[in-house]
Amino acid sequence: MKPTPKISHKQHTGFPLTDYNFQATDDAKSSGTNVYPGKKSPGFHRLSSEFFGAEAYRDYVTNFLVFTVLGLITAWPIMSMVVAVTRLLRNS
């Protein structure tokens, strides 16, 4: 069943008026009534650990080392600034 549009040619609002009271009928039944239910898929954690395996460990170690190096590189100027401020406060 196709709803009939209720468009007035006298109004030019830019958008056509639509019928919001459309209700689907029960006649449209799905054709897949004899479909067997699928197997339950494994959990996401189990699936990902099987898929990645040892690669995940290497990726974790690489990310940890890069994060550690970046942390040390950014901590060095901060420690240098703290030493400079303490020297300035001692001499004044």
The alpha-helical segments, DSSP class H, found in the chain are 44-52, 54-91
Please state the φ and ψ torsions of residue 50, each to the nearest 5 degrees. -70, -35
74 is written with which tokens?
């950014």
Residue 67, pLDDT score = 97
Residue 68, pLDDT score = 97
pLDDT by residue for the chain (92 residues), tens digit each? 677 766 656 655 666 666 666 666 666 555 555 556 666 666 777 777 777 777 778 888 999 999 999 999 999 999 999 999 999 999 97
Return d(Cα 53, Cα 12) in angstroms, integer: 62
pTM for this one? 0.39
Residue 51, pLDDT score = 72
Residue 42: CB partners within 8 Å, gap ≥ 6? 50
